[in-house]
A and B are shown apart, each in its own frame.
Chain A
Amino acid sequence: MKRRSVLAGIAGALLPAVAHAQGAAPSAGHPRRIAVLMGVKEGDPEGDGRYGALKAGLKELGWVDGDTAKLEVYWAGGDLERIRTLVGPIVASAPDVIVGNGTAAATELRKATKTIPVVFVLATDPVSLGLIDSLARPGGNLTGFSFFDPPLVGKWFELLQLMAPGVRQTSLIFNPGTAAFYYKFFEGMPGLGTIIRLAPTRDLAEVETTLAGLAKEPGASVIMGADPFNVVNSAAIAGLIERFRLPAISVYRQFTVDGGLMAYGPDTLDAFHRTATYVDRVLRGARPADLPAQAPTKYQLILNLKTAKKLGLTVPPMLLGRADEVIE
């Protein structure tokens, strides 16, 4: 053992020092402080999965929590007020970098600091919503990984119609606190407003009232919008949707695991995993302004055939052919 380490030491001394990158590399002596503001909740599969993916990604790059890095995670539980309450202390604690999950978290962080680097993840349409100047050159202290752009809303409706031919209209469930951007989304799509309606809900009771109303309308369906509130309440909302027997689609894979009919959108865990690369770059000295914001590359369509069967739907080959995962 000892002899081997001596040899390794000699070898190391002979090798020319190769600089991988500039800035500070991971070192146990000076753990770097990474604050993580999660829009979602600790303890549910999606929340834990996301944080786990980020942590794993950081570890691969040498940032081990409790050793070379100190991760301070804050869970907002899909609540705008909580995000607002948390942002102050996070910024005041002056970490080396902040990871902000969700559009609302990114927006509040942008308001709160102009100096601490912020890497956002799953922020929707960041250029139009003013988070950054452009994808290629974010400009300020924010950069990161975007979630999706407005046209995807239409895609959801299209998939719903393919799955359930009886669908004539759909309602997009979102919390106006954590996902106000949907109001803006619809401005670009004037034709959609009549068939895709906005259904703002601030709590589960309102979701239930809304769904109960929709269940009475012919050809109704539901889009469970991208929104930390919806992630936090995924299982409960999936249960309500099942109770009212409505065809529904979500951007989140977890929705189908919770019994939802289908999901289409970027892979959220992949996004968190890739976020680690930018946290790494920032810790090694890169400026967010120089790191282009990235759009997702991996999209997935997941179908829950059990739920389809319960709703009496026959899944068309067109959808089966496109599905990346089928829950039976």
Chain B
Amino acid sequence: MRWGGLFLKYVVLFVGLVAGVLAINAALDLYFVYQENRRASIEVQREKAEAAAQRVEAFVREIERQIGWVAYTQFAALPAEQRRFDYGRLLRQVPAITELVQLDRQGREQLRVSRLSMDVVGAGTDRSAEPAYVEAMAHKVYFSPVYFRKESEPYLTMAIAHGGRGGVTVAEINLKLILEVIANIKIGRDGYTYVVDRLGRLVAHPDLSLVLRGTDMKKLAQVEAALQPEGDGGKPVDATNRAGVSVLSAHAAIPALGWIVFVELPTSEAQQPVIDAGLRSLALLVLGLIIAGLAGALLARRMVVPIRTLQAGAARIGSGELGHRMSIKTGDELEALADQFNRSAEALQESYETLEQRVEDRTAELRETLEQQTAMADVLQVINSSPGNLAPVFDAILDKAMVLCDASFGIFGRFDGKLFEPAIDRGVPPELIEATRQIQSPPPNSGLGRIAAGESVVQLVDLADTDVYRAGFVGATALVDIGGAKTAIFVALRKDGVLLGVIVMYRREVRAFSDKQVALLQNFAAQAVIAMENARLLTELRESLEQQTATSEILHVISQSPTDVQPVLNVVVKAAQRFCGAEDVVIGLRDGDDLAIAAHDGPIQAPPPRRALDRSSAQGRAVIDARTIHLPDVAQLDPAEWRAVITLTRQFGAKAVLAAPMLREGVAVGAIMLRRREAGPFSERQVMLLESFAAQAVIAIQNVRLFTEIQEKSRQLEVASQHKSQFLANMSHELRTPLNAIIGYTEMMADGLYGEVGDKAQGVLERVQNNGRHLLGLINDVLDLSKIEAGQLTLTVEQYSVADMVSTVLSATESLARTKGLKLESAVSSGLPTGFGDARRLTQVLLNLVGNAIKFTDTGSVEVRAAQANDKFELSVVDTGFGIAPADQARIFDEFQQVDNTSTRKKGGTGLGLSISRKIVELHGGRITVESQEGKGSTFKVTVPINATPVESAA
């Protein structure tokens, strides 16, 4: 840097000046601070000790004041409930009070309210000899010496006389709570406060454990000195605390309690102000250096800034920002240089601008083409975004066509095979619409006529110069004379040669539409055709969808009302009405030899609710013949054969009837009937739909019948199963309660809670415990099994780690294996995935298998292996035990089966473990198998899915 020399000079000057002044100042400051500090801290410590003593006393006095609220003469006369309430509230208000006792005037206990035990009313114990009573009666208030409950917690007994004929309230105060007071007294940073009683025992200290341990503080010189009767008045002394740290110690007494409050501050901290002053000076020195540095930097900056501006400006102009001008007002060569740059930029900018004009012209041409393409794309998008809805499509087409063809007004007409009908128009004068409304068929030589005859585009350049106009055809004259149209173009909309509509554009001047515009209109016409075709297909789709919806609605109602057929019939009636296009629907059900009306909807009066079933009515015959009866015109029927139909229809004004039987296994359970007030055949579709509705109504009726039966059956089953599980639950509870007591007591005896137990007795206790646990295990097994049998055992599926499971099982069985001198090993594949299943139950299975293996192996080893096979875990327990004979291998998983020989007999067990294990594994959707060779050992293998989904019932 070129200006570095100057910069350095300034910095050195500033730094030297500031540092020199500050150094002198600091030296003087430090000297005086040290002198002052010694005096001040001694004074401060003394005052703090006084303040601390006041706060500790205030804590006790506040409790005294609170107790004062109940210590009034009439208190003793209050009912016991009221006194208890008052004491209870006092306990809540003052957390330090653990117990309150009310003594009467004779010193007998009347009420005791405690935080920790039951309240006692009217015990009457004589406590008149106790100092609490004697002293309080004599001096109104009594504070006991500090005592230690359970030899640990410091307590103070406070007694307050009620005055007059009242007695005394005695409160036990937990002094642990003073901790909060003294912990909140701030003595510098590392200073602290503590309290000792008149014996030098610690009453309160920030380290509560010292208090609870009953620490004797007399060993400290300053405490020993303060306890002397001719105390030194609390003047601070240099001393050493329990940790051996040198401290400045001050104290103040609380004469009422006989306590002394100590305040101690480490000597090092007391001298802190001196250190602080040193630090301050140092900080000032550093600050001076920084200011000096900054000032130097500022000077240098002033020279560099205009050069930077010049550089940045040149860079911006160079990057094409030709409008940029630099502004430098330094009045020197730099300013002149900037002006030179500005002039060059100006010249450049001018030459660019002529170039831009030429580019703009070309762009305009491109834009026009683009507009047309965009219009087409827009229309396509409208078609896409509004399927089935033609109005927006026609709107869009007409709008775009008007603009792009430069037309005065336009019409979008639809053709239904006979007539043109204007669907949408733009800018057409209302009078013209009025005048042309009446036109029925355009003459063949008119524009529309020619389109109808098969032409795809007709352009009439001068309407006034056509035959139709001259012939006075209203359509043409109105157009020219009222609408002022001069030129018209007609473009046909055709689909497979069939005319669907026409787009017509008019101009109020004689000017032919260009080829480009004609082509554009043809494109629009093609798009409109596509949109109309789409809409037609969509309508068909919608209709068939609605039918399916009706069917599914009915099925839904069937499933929703398994016990009641009526809602289903109601829905069927409604659906038939809607989809068969019938005015009136009736459902009749067969009831013995009668036909009963079950549902009806429609304007025609319903047939009588119940009538005899016979072949002369439409529904009757449909039921009896089990086929659909279709009567298009009732008036044509033979009265002899159709007596009921004719009577009923004449009475109600129906002319045509259709009835479909509701068939179940070929037999009709009823019929559904459509009625109409006009004669004429029902369509094939209506017949088909009615038959399908009839079939659905049958399903509903059948469902209800089956459901009711099942419900009754399952209710009976449930009652039976409830009785069974209730019995088992009760039974196991009755067995377990006393057993739990046996185990609980022996355990505590074995743990030595009832005194030392001899070795022999210990052995017996262990046997009692083992047998008790075994019995409890049996009861639990029986309960587990019964739960499984009842299908009541449900898995709690959660995440588990096979490795964790194996290590849990190993640590639980380790001691057992060690006792028998067996090697217990595991081989768990690394990187096994997390499993999902009932971890507790699976652990139970593994524990059972390992337990068995240890039980039935006398020498050698037991090994647990875990590996992954596809989406399953394979857990194997391999032992070197007796093995199992092939004949027994199949039976061991059944209940109460154990391999029956003398050696296994001795091992005990219920034979339930493997059976339960098998069922737990099966509930997980897994398998448990065994391979064994007698005398060589056995391998039990459990295969469970890694992501188990509980199987409903394995029972």
Chain A residues at the B interface, C-beta cutoff of 8 Å: 3, 7, 10-11, 14-16, 18-20, 22, 81, 84-85, 88-89, 107, 111, 127-130, 134-137, 148-149, 151-152, 154-155, 157-158, 176, 180-181, 183-184, 198-200, 202, 205-206, 208-210, 281, 290-295, 297-299, 301, 317-318, 321-324
Contacts and interface: CB of A to CB of B under 8 A. Distances in A.
Contact of A85 (B190, B732, B808): B808
A183 B748 contact: yes
Interface residues of B, number: 62
B92 A322 contact: yes
Contact of B811 (A85, A199, A298): A85
B152 A15 contact: no
B279 A297 contact: no
B119 A297 contact: no
Contacts of B747: 180
Interface string B137-174: 00000000000101111000000000000000000001
A323 B91 CA distance: 11
15 contacts: A14-B279, A18-B190, A88-B811, A128-B753, A134-B151, A155-B114, A155-B117, A155-B118, A176-B743, A181-B748, A202-B736, A209-B729, A290-B209, A290-B213, A321-B89
B210 to A, nearest CB: 9
Contacts of B732: 206
Nearest to A324: B92
Contacts of A130: 751-753
A199 B753 CA distance: 22
Contacts of A19: 243, 245
B279 A11 contact: yes
Interface string B190-230: 10000000000000000011001110000000000000000
Interface in B86-114: 88-89, 91-92, 95, 114
A135 B212 contact: yes
Contacts of B743: 176
A291 B92 contact: no
Contacts of B814: 88
Given A16-B268, A85-B811, A184 B753 contact: yes
B85 A317 contact: yes
Contacts of A151: 114, 116-118
B266 interface: yes
Interface string B254-287: 0000000000001011000001001100110010
Given A151-B116, A297-B95, 20 more contacts: A3-B290, A10-B282, A89-B807, A111-B751, A128-B753, A130-B752, A134-B152, A136-B148, A151-B114, A152-B117, A200-B744, A202-B740, A205-B783, A292-B209, A292-B213, A295-B152, A318-B84, A322-B88, A322-B91, A323-B92
B116 A136 contact: no
A237 B375 CA distance: 72
A321 B740 CA distance: 40
A30 to B, nearest CB: 24
A298 B152 CA distance: 17
B477 to A, nearest CB: 89
Contacts of A85: 808, 811-812
A85 B811 CA distance: 7
A322 B113 CA distance: 12
B598 to A, nearest CB: 43
B274 to A, nearest CB: 11
B627 interface: no
A18 B269 contact: yes
Contacts of B811: 85, 88-89
B209 A291 contact: yes
B88 A318 contact: yes
Contacts of B114: 151, 155
B115 interface: yes
B733 A210 contact: yes
A295 B116 CA distance: 11
Nearest to A22: B243
Contact of A136 (B89, B212, B733): B212
Query: Which 8 A/B pairs are nearest by Cβ-Cβ distance?
Result: A292-B212, A151-B117, A135-B152, A176-B740, A154-B118, A200-B740, A180-B744, A136-B152
Contacts of B473: none
Given A14-B275, A294-B212, A155 B733 contact: no
A144 B189 CA distance: 29
A213 to B, nearest CB: 8
B737 interface: yes
B176 interface: yes
Nearest to A210: B733
B730 interface: yes
A135 B150 contact: yes
B85 A321 contact: yes
A154 B150 CA distance: 20
Given A10-B282, A318-B84, A299 B213 contact: no
B370 interface: no
B88 A321 contact: yes
Nearest to B743: A176
Q: Looking at A81, A107, A209, A317, which has the most chain B CB atoms within 10 Å of its CB?
A: A209
A11 B280 CA distance: 10
Q: Looking at A20, A135, A323, which has the most chain B CB atoms within 10 Å of its CB?
A: A135
Contacts of A152: 116-117
Contacts of A134: 150-152
A200 B116 contact: no
A157 B119 CA distance: 11
B69 interface: no
A7 B286 contact: yes
A20 B743 CA distance: 49
Nearest to A323: B92
A168 to B, nearest CB: 16
A3 B790 CA distance: 77
Contacts of B245: 19
B652 interface: no
Nearest to A179: B744
Contacts of A136: 148, 150-152, 212-214
A20 B190 CA distance: 8
Contacts of B213: 136-137, 290, 292
Q: Looking at B118, B148, B282, B807, which has the most chain A CB atoms within 10 Å of its CB?
A: B118
Nearest to B729: A209
B741 interface: yes
B745 interface: yes
B63 to A, nearest CB: 15
Nearest to A322: B88
Contacts of A205: 729, 783
A206 B751 contact: no
A181 B745 CA distance: 9
A223 to B, nearest CB: 13
Contacts of B92: 301, 321-324
Interface string B178-190: 0000000000001
B206 to A, nearest CB: 11
A33 to B, nearest CB: 19
Q: Looking at A85, A129, A208, which has the most chain B CB atoms within 10 Å of its CB?
A: A85
A135 B212 CA distance: 8
Contacts of B808: 85
Contacts of B709: none
A197 to B, nearest CB: 10
Contacts of A281: 209
